[in-house]
Amino acid sequence: MSEFQEEPVLNILTDPKVYLVGQQVTDESVIAEFLSDHEVEKWTTDTEMGGEKLVEVAGRLCYMSFAKPRPGGNHAYIHHILEVGHGSVLEHAIFSLVITGVSRSLTHELVRHRAGFGYSQLSQRFVDESDCSFVEPKVIAEDPELHAIWIESVKSAQESYKKLSDGLAARMADIEDRTLRRKRAREAARSILPNATETKIFVTGNARALRHFVEMRGSEHADAEIRRLAVAVLRVLQEASPNLFGDYVLTDQPDGSVAIDTPFKKV
């Protein structure tokens, strides 16, 4: 074995990854019981996606319009909801996402979306960040000179974190509880880590809240990193629920990035 050990390679990320880990299912027998109790002999919809079905049930309940549905199925029904801005019924469709490859800077903005959202984020007090990844802005990554400055900065921060974490743990040796000792060391050492530090976050939101997020953060005027996340979230949601999110379109921008637009704003 060589006496010289290679320096650890920094893990640099530029794009987020979004996992759709949860969405709703419906209880068909209970829906049928409700309809029977209200003398609706038969009602069906052509979607098998739970959130889309619940949105339609909620909307039809407002007017008890189960017996005489308009033609066009669930797609036409939700399209009409978007046209008239009856957005409250969209709140009944729920989606849970795991998001990785995003910076702490991004999540500072993400968690400002409060209404209709729930969050659970990686804890830097419990998780050792000695081998953490960093999210580099593409505008920096594209310039070799600026990229070198950025790499030097995050590398220095990571090395300082390791030294602080180890030094603090040694200083707190009198704390018998190892978990508490590590937590105390890491919660202080994390102060040196930059906003570029990669994090992971579990997000649950209803369709109306998610539409608001996609619309606001997918705008050409939004921060570049969170706009990439909005595009990634939209692509996942459009695949899962085209009737609730299919109206959004991706538009190419002069700088080569992508923005999001829809004819049904602020539903």
Catalytic residues: 217
Cβ atoms within 10 Å of 116's Cβ, excluding its own: 18
Q: Which of 103, 100, 110, 125 is nearest to 194 (CA)?
A: 103
Cross-strand pairs, 144: none
Angle, alpha carbons 72-74-79 (nearest 5°): 80
Q: What is the DSSP letter of 4?
A: S
CB atoms within 10 A of CB 224: 11
- Dihedral of CA atoms 195, 200, 206, 207 in degrees, nearest 10, equals 80
R_g (Cα) of the chain, nearest Å: 24
Q: Are 207 and 91 in contact (CB under 8 A)?
A: yes
Which amino acid is residue 131, in one-letter code? D
CA distance 192 to 160: 7
Q: Up-side HSE of residue 138: CA atoms within 13 Å toward CB? A: 13
